[in-house]
Amino acid sequence: MLTGPAVRISPQDLNRLLKSLEVSFVALAECLVSEGYCLEMGSINAPGIHYNIRGSGRLVIKGSPPIELKPHTLVIVPPNAPFRIEADGFHRGMQNLRTVDGLLVAVSKDSILHIVAGEGDPEVMLICGYFDACYGSAVNLFGTLTTPIVEQFSEVDRLDTMLKSAIGELVTQEVGSGAMSSALLKLVIVNILRRSLHSNNVWVERFSLLRDPQIARAFAEMASNPGAPHTVNSLAQSAYLGRSAFMARFTDVVGQPPMNVLRDLRMRQAAEQLQTGQVPIEQVVRNTGYESRSSFARAFRKVFGMDPSEYRSSTA
């Protein structure tokens, strides 16, 4: 197992990875739990950020030790991991907490889920955001996470302000509110991943992409500039590895061979440019590193199931 600062991803490579990371909300919720209550949440096919705004209690993920919740505790729950939130009445002699199924009591209002367990003033108040953090269809950064990440922030970090602002954007439903809320969530993700450089909790090892700095460097080369004339040899050189060792390690870490990942990254860039309607298709072909329109179209159809011109029309 890789441990210690010497094997962590460099700040420069992490910066490039963060700049090209796409973050979007799957759902956003306020969870309120009164004293003596337990809020049960079933598995959701997306990682979740759970930020405790006030109060104290526990977040318990099935199969893991209880996580103590204090103000500004942040927990990232892996995808498909059932968990429960317990208010602090347990420490006051309340052995039998009343359990509420969160998926049954969730109420959607103004694009926000409100999930309440109990009556009166809540003992614990969390903002919970379920999200995707991806590099196109190629890599889901949190997709391989199997155990929770726990970090204690403080008021000066202003993560609560960012998450409350994201809720406010979704409530207003103004033009660009979805993009703004996703941008605010990305700020939270950036704050978390910054800690991978110096946190005493060596949770960076739980990210397959980040725990191998050499492969992370090669991936950052592709993600930050997918249209460059990358080859297996040039990427292996950037990772300071031989070709065969690079191919094996990249496939093991990322889950796909490097050229497959590069194709998907290029197609993400192409899709973004096609959606604007401003860039001629021939220019999109050149920007994404393809020598001919026909080879570009074949790759695009393989990823999106349609020709580039059809895609542009369907997203206009």
Helices 258-276 and 213-224: angle between axes, nearest 10 degrees: 30
Q: Check: CB of residue 124 under 8 Å from CB of residue 32.
A: yes
- Whole-number pLDDT of residue 31: 94
- Whole-number pLDDT of residue 1: 36
Q: How far apart are CA 40 and CA 100, in angstroms?
A: 6
State if pTM tops 0.85.
Answer: no
Name 6's Cβ contacts closer than 8 Å, sequence gap at least 6.
none
- Whole-number pLDDT of residue 92: 53
- Whole-number pLDDT of residue 138: 74
| Secondary structure (3-state) at 289 | coil
User: Of 229, 315, 225, whose CA–CA distance to 271 is shortest?
Assistant: 315
Q: Looking at the DSSP assignment, which residues form a beta bridge with residue 59?
A: 67, 85
In the chain, DSSP finds a helix count (H) and a strand count (E) of: 11, 13
- Identify residue 237 by its one-letter amino acid code: Q
- Whole-number pLDDT of residue 243: 96
User: Of 223, 252, 193, 2, whose CA–CA distance to 238 is shortest?
Assistant: 223
- Whole-number pLDDT of residue 89: 62
Q: Check: CB of residue 300 under 8 Å from CB of residue 311.
A: yes
Q: Check: CB of residue 91 under 8 Å from CB of residue 58.
A: no
Q: Looking at the DSSP assignment, which residues form a beta bridge with residue 73?
A: 152
- Whole-number pLDDT of residue 4: 41
| Secondary structure (3-state) at 98 | strand
Handedness of CA 208, 213, 218, 220 (dihedral sign): positive
pLDDT, tens digit only, all 316 positions of the chain: 334 444 578 889 889 999 999 998 888 899 999 998 999 998 889 999 999 999 999 999 988 899 999 999 999 999 999 999 999 765 555 567 899 999 889 998 877 889 999 988 899 999 998 999 998 777 888 888 888 999 999 999 999 999 889 888 888 778 878 888 889 889 998 888 888 777 666 677 778 788 889 999 999 999 999 999 999 999 999 999 999 999 999 999 998 999 999 999 999 999 989 988 888 999 999 999 998 999 999 999 988 999 999 999 887 6
Q: How far apart are CA 69 and CA 55, in angstroms?
A: 8
Handedness of CA 103, 109, 112, 115 (dihedral sign): negative
Q: How far apart are CA 310 and CA 316, in angstroms?
A: 10
Handedness of CA 211, 212, 215, 221 (dihedral sign): positive
Q: How far apart are CA 172 and CA 185, in angstroms?
A: 17
Q: How far apart are CA 145 and CA 49, in angstroms?
A: 13
Residue 293: CA count within 13 A, CB half-sphere: 8
Helices 159-172 and 177-194: angle between axes, nearest 10 degrees: 160
| Secondary structure (3-state) at 39 | strand
- Interstrand relation of 112-117 and 22-33 (parallel, antiparallel or unpaired): parallel
- Whole-number pLDDT of residue 69: 95
On the 0-12 / 13-18 / 19+ scale of CB atoms within 10 A, 310 is middle
